[in-house]
Chain A
Amino acid sequence: MIRLENVTKVYPTSTRPALDGVSVDIEKGEFVFLVGSSGSGKSTFLRLLLKEDVPTTGRVHVLGKDLARLSSWKVPYFRRQIGCVFQDFRLLPNKTVTQNVAFALEVIGKPQSTIEKVVPEVLELVGLEGKGHRMPDELSGGEQQRVAVARAFVNRPMLLIADEPTGNLDPSTSVGIMKLLDRINRTGTTVVMATHDAQIVDSMRRRVVELSGGHVVRDQTRGVYGYGA
């Protein structure tokens, strides 16, 4: 599903590599936490998976594709198989919940009939039935993140990438989001989630990959957040 082979990424403005000789294998259907302090390379890791950046050396394979060989015009079609969720939700403030989710389908050219069918389905899945006509600023943070998850999942991606999805949420709301991500994972979607939230990692008992200074310092199948946490 995902394979990084000896990946190093050096940004032009920096002398220290953001990732330094990282090799990770992630199987289909896995749920992986990516932990580490700020600047440890988590964001770079996720950017490489989306081909938002290319590694300086090493190879990145995602969804059976060698990203170095993926021509740039194919990148959008590749990204359609991946859902993304972020700390700041990234919803469009001038569109309703339904429109926000539908937007993701409209811009990849899905027919209106499909959109009208799948959007209510996915809103129900994330627990937002009956709130489709609301504007994002009328919703709580947890609900907004559910909209973002709905948008990421509406296209039934093979892989869901979550970059600190609970970073802006209080602990009890975070639990709800994690339950949602867990449900999505159980449908067979691989989930890779970068997080700082020790409580969540410890309670989920899933695979943990810890980055520090651009190196993988820990890779446990049923891990906890960290020894110091």
Chain B
Amino acid sequence: MRAQFVLSEIFIGLRRNLTMTIALVVTLMVSLGLVGAALLVREQVDEMKGYWYDKVEVTVYLCGSTSLSPNCAGKEVTQEQREQINKDLSTTAQVEKVYYESKQEAYSRFKEQFKDSPDLVANVSADALPESFRVKLKDPTQFEVVASAFQDRPGVDAVQDLKKALDPVFQVLSRFQLLALATAGFSLFAAVLLVSNTVRVAAFSRRRETGIMRLVGASNLYIQLPFLLEGVIAGLVGAALASGLVAVGKYFLVDLVLRDTIKFTNFIGWGEVIGVVPWLLLLGVVLSGLASFLTLRRHLRV
């Protein structure tokens, strides 16, 4: 196989059909970019779940001077109530571990979390933050058992399940992922049709050459390879551009906006973005290669 011959054929083919090639590459870029976005959203969800599920799952807030819950009746939790709650939590079957967080500890955590917003920290005193028991459950789904047992206890302000608080966030993310995947599916379908059309036009515009190649006994591989590679190269270029698109999107959305505004979780880093790239390349190459191959079988019969 003479590589130079094949390469020049590919180059001629792609250039002859330039507008179609551009349309194809752009479609591939957008659709693969969406696939990449969907993959990264999944990574982000995993990241958040890992971050949060490792931590305390249920927080039992105790009544403080600022508590508004009717259960507190405007009174702070007493020493006796605190000890009783601690004891009962520790003996509850579903509970694995109980940590106590004092107002002072809550305040230092708060300061750490919002260290980039000194104005906010300055406006909050240690006394304004509630003390709490942080409870790790043996089975995170058993939240209801603990919540119903403790939320009406004297001295308890509220019982909060972090998982429940995060659920809407996860839901939004998974919907977004679904939407991105569905859109990607449609545009990938369009991309496949475009690949097929590009290859068909290329095969038609070079039917004189392929006719002679058939005649003089060029092998099927030799005849079809330039067309096949034309599709594959378009797929590769589209996937490379899509990877760039995903990286740019990650930089502008995550690094420039989300990381500064949303403090309560980790975000995906460049490692995850780089991890997505091979999949995009693979998908781009396999899809366009397959579409080219099937088209050639129909339109370049030997």
**Interface of A with B (CB < 8 Å)?**
72-73, 75-82, 84, 90, 92, 103-104, 106-109, 112, 151, 155
Cross-chain contact of A76 among B1, B209, B219 (Cβ < 8 A): B219
Please tell me if the beta carbons of A104 and B212 are within 8 angstroms of each other in the complex.
yes
Q: How far is A143 from B208 in the complex, measured between Cα atoms in Å? A: 20
Knowing A76-B219, A80-B217, A151-B216, the reply to whether A106 touches B208 (Cβ < 8 A) is no
Asked whether, in the complex, the Cβ of A108 is within 8 Å of the Cβ of B218, the reply is yes
Q: Which residue in B208, B214, B222, B302 is a CB contact (below 8 Å) of A92?
A: B208
Q: Which 4 A-B pairs rank lowest in CB-CB distance, beginning with the nearest?
A: A80-B217, A79-B217, A107-B218, A104-B216
The answer for the CA separation of A103 and B2 in the assembled complex, in Å, is 12
The 0/1 profile, CB within 8 Å of A marked 1, for residues 197-216 of chain B is 00000000000110111111
Instruction: Check A80–B216 contact: CB distance below 8 A.
Output: yes
Choice from A75, A79, A112 contacting B216 with Cβ under 8 Å: A79
A106 to B7, CA, bound (A): 13
For the complex, count residues of B whose C-beta is within 8 A of A.
18
**Chain A residues near B214 (CB-CB < 8 A):** 76, 79
Contact A107 B216 (CB under 8 A): yes
What are 7 A-B residue pairs whose CB atoms fall within 8 Å in the complex? A76-B217, A79-B215, A106-B5, A107-B212, A108-B216, A109-B1, A109-B2
**Contact call A90/B219, Cβ cutoff below 8 A:** no
What residues of B have a CB within 8 angstroms of the CB of A92 in the complex?
Answer: 208-209, 212
Count, A-B residue pairs, CB within 8 A = 56
Most chain B beta-carbon neighbours within 10 Å: one of A77, A108, A112: A108
Which chain B positions have C-beta within 8 A of A90? 208, 211-212, 215
* Given A72-B302, A75-B302; A108-B211 close (CB under 8 Å): no
Q: A103-B209, A104-B212, A108-B217 are in contact. List 13 more A-B contacts (CB 8 A).
A: A76-B217, A76-B220, A79-B214, A80-B217, A84-B215, A90-B211, A90-B212, A92-B212, A103-B212, A104-B216, A107-B216, A108-B219, A155-B216
Q: Tell me whether B215 and A106 are in contact (CB under 8 A).
A: no
Q: Are B209 and A78 interface neighbours, CB within 8 A?
A: no
Chain A CB within 10 Å, residue with most, of B209, B211, B212, B220: B212
Shortest C-beta distance, B224 to chain A (Å), equals: 11
A78-B217 contact given A90-B212, A103-B212, A109-B1, CB 8 Å threshold: yes
CA distance A90 to B208 in the complex (A): 8
Nearest CB in chain A: distance from B302 CB, A: 7
**Provided the pairs A107-B213, A109-B1 are in contact, do residues A76 and B302 lie with their beta carbons within 8 angstroms?**
yes
Q: How far is the CA of A155 from the CA of B212 in the complex (A)?
A: 14
Query: Provided the pairs A76-B217, A76-B302, A79-B216 are in contact, do residues A107 and B208 lie with their beta carbons within 8 angstroms?
Result: no
Q: Are B217 and A77 in contact (CB under 8 A)?
A: yes
A159 to chain B, nearest CB (A): 12
Determine the distance from Cα of A31 to Cα of B215 in the docked complex, in whole angstroms: 21
The complex places the Cα of A151 from the Cα of B213 at a distance, in Å, of 11
Identify the closest chain B residue to A73 (Cβ). Answer: B220
Chain B residues near A107 (CB-CB < 8 A):
5, 212-213, 216, 218, 222-223
